[in-house]
Amino acid sequence: MAVAEPTIAQRRAAINNSGTSGSDRARNFPTSAQIAQAAREISVPSPRQVIAANANRPKDQASDESMVLNMGPQHPSTHGVLRLVVELSGEDVLQLAPDVGFLHTGIEKNMEAKTYQKALVMTDRTDYLGPMINNMVYSLAVEKLLDCEIPPRAQVGRVLLNELERMNSYLVWLGTHALDLAAMSVFLYCFREREMILDIKELVSGARMMTSFIRPGGLAWDFPKEFKPTVQRFLDIFPGRIDEYEALLTDNPIWKDRTVGVGRLSAVDALALGVTGANLRATGVPYDMRKMFPYSGYENYDFKLITGTEGDTYERYLVRIAEMRESVKIAQQALDNLPDGPYATSDRKIWPPPKEEITYSMESLIHHFKLWTEGFKPPKGDAYVAVESGRGELGCYIVSDGSNKPWRVHFRAPSFINLQALPHMAQGKLIADLVAMIASLDPVLGEVDR
């Protein structure tokens, strides 16, 4: 390549200077013609196609040695039960196809059989590294159907919890990513801080992972009084800890050897393939739901939209690290401005009355009884809401038929869609780098298969 590779310092400076102004944003998006060009060139093969291609490859060529290797679904570096059908020539990946579905549990189907409130618990189990964000997108979609106003305390609380969840999710990504490339200690450090976030989640909801805390109408209950100091303690410690991870990795020659220039993805290809999240932002496309299509009051927070330039594995690492720092900033603002007041809507058709009211108000008792036996009934219609999860644009599409159960719930699972970029990224690269690419795409198989 004629163009000189940017140095690490240049890359970090570019990320720190990520623009947030409107004019910057529009310029960095690919044009329609580029997307059309990419659509003609890119295809996402299926396992069957890879196997057939290998069988049909003429044997007299240099590809004589080509073979189909089955990687996963129990391979530890696939972060769950992802199976890759890889066609190899020696150590070079000729092409590959992801095969998913080993963790399919019919979450969408199951949700159709439950009332709106009860279906919420299923959302925790899709992307199990960011349950609160899943709660959030589902709640927002139901609230959109209901046309329901959420009090400020719940909105700010949701943002705070979402940012903690994002850090939690990124910590697992960083730990396992580093572990895959044989940096054992990073994993231990990351899980040390993740433990603090899980403790906060336990403090607010009683559960460390499957919280079901953000519910249609508000939050499950109010924050306990130890909440603020506990979160503040974490936010005070965390930026220093990010420096520690960076000290271990950013200038580490082994880390750079394994990630710089590996799994490069161009902005156009990424967008055509539907890649979102840090994977897309690392290519330079400033697409973040929090900035572009703000929800839950994200427009009121001061934070940078981090974008990279190179789109390789190292850039995705830098972008996520920088985003963790931004998350700390958002969480701090949310914590400082957490208003007093109700933590859930006062609409009694959606949220039950306070317990003490039930003892003297017949109407409250009826509301309580109706809500917990029958649930609420959003008007007929459909709504799509998307939020920025740890992996990208997490969308939720709900169709209501006017009954107390959703007619259809669909999740636009960013892990599932991001995975389509893997064949394109890995083509012609070494199989050893495949492990780094999977880790840096950061799929959560629970969400891929739902």
Binding stretches for other proteins (CB under 8 A): 25-26, 29-33, 35-36, 38-40, 42-46, 48-49, 100-101, 104, 106, 108-110, 112-113, 144-145, 147, 271-275, 287, 292-293, 381-384, 386, 393, 395, 397, 399, 407-408, 410, 412, 416-417, 419-420, 449-450
Q: Which is nearer to other proteins, 54 or 211 (CB)?
A: 54
Q: Minimum distance between the CB of residue 174 and other proteins, rounded to whole angstroms?
A: 26
Q: Which is nearer to other proteins, 196 or 273 (CB)?
A: 273
Q: Minimum distance between the CB of residue 215 and other proteins, rounded to whole angstroms?
A: 20
Residues in Cβ contact with 2 at an 8 Å cutoff, skipping those fewer than 6 apart: none
Q: Which is nearer to other proteins, 25 or 325 (CB)?
A: 25
Q: Which is nearer to other proteins, 339 or 381 (CB)?
A: 381
Q: Minimum distance between the CB of residue 168 and other proteins, rounded to whole angstroms?
A: 25
Q: Minimum distance between the CB of residue 103 and other proteins, rounded to whole angstroms?
A: 9
Q: Which is nearer to other proteins, 32 or 373 (CB)?
A: 32
Q: Minimum distance between the CB of residue 353 and other proteins, rounded to whole angstroms?
A: 27
Q: Minimum distance between the CB of residue 289 and other proteins, rounded to whole angstroms?
A: 10
Q: Which is nearer to other proteins, 339 or 379 (CB)?
A: 379
Q: Which is nearer to other proteins, 249 or 265 (CB)?
A: 265
Q: Minimum distance between the CB of residue 268 and other proteins, rounded to whole angstroms?
A: 9
